[in-house]
Amino acid sequence: MATAYKNLSEYDSSQISDVSRMRFGIVVSEWNKEITEKLKEGAYNTLIKHGAKPENIVVCYVPGSFELVYGAKLLADSVQPDAVIGLGCVIRGETPHFDYVCSGVTQGFAVLNAKGTIPFIFGLLTNDTMKQSIDRAGGIYGNKGDEAAVTAIKMAQLSCSFK
């Protein structure tokens, strides 16, 4: 397992250009809020670190991870950002609900990316335990919110380079 050896949130920040003229949307699931708020903080702070202006970052909340797809689409259509980041956390339980939610959100974000004109960044933690989620929301394996923000920046810059 690669994450056993490395904090995956480490990256070369010199490879990230200034994003002060870009707009970003962040849609956050309220379910497992103790995790998703940390993911949001990581994403928001990383965008700010690279020059995004607070007024150019729009954050909205949806009840659960399954609703991230609709929230991301609604945010994209109404705010017209350069990229949208979806952040959620699903922890495996005793029923197949985990599989349906994870699959639905994954497929939904794939469709948004295939049909959209901006990048939609998949920031959904899909873990077996709360500890695994904590480890990936600012714990020993970094913060997947940071990673989602870096991905959003890179993909938005790629998208802009073709316009």
Asked if residue 60 is part of any domain, the answer here is: yes
Q: Residue 3: inside a domain, yes or no?
A: no
**DSSP E strands: which ranges in the chain?**
24-29, 57-62, 83-91, 120-127, 137-139, 142-143
Closest CA to 37 of 119, 106, 129, 133: 133
pTM of the complete model: 0.92
Q: How many CA atoms lie within 13 A of 131 on its CB side?
A: 0
Q: Is residue 10 part of a domain?
A: no
User: In the chain, how many domains are there?
Assistant: 1
**Is residue 144 within 8 Å of 42, Cβ to Cβ?**
yes
The pLDDT value recorded for residue 1 is 43
Residues catalogued as catalytic: 97
Q: Give the pLDDT of residue 2.
A: 47
State the pLDDT at residue 9.
Answer: 66
CATH of the domain at 54: 3.40.50.960
* 99-127 pLDDT, tens digit each: 899 999 999 999 999 998 999 999 999 99
Q: Give me the residue label for tokens 């870096």.
A: 150
Residue 9 lies in a domain: no
**Torsion over CA: 89, 92, 97, 98 (sign):** positive
Whether 144 is in a domain gets the answer yes
Q: Residue 132 domain-assigned?
A: yes
Backbone angles phi, psi at 86, to 5 degrees: -105, 125
pLDDT of residue 143: 95
Alpha-carbon gap, residue 58 to 60, rounded angstroms: 7
> Is 103 among the domain residues?
yes
| Residues of the chain below pLDDT 50 | 1-2
Q: Is residue 6 included in any domain, yes or no?
A: no
Which residues constitute the domain of residue 89?
A: 22-161
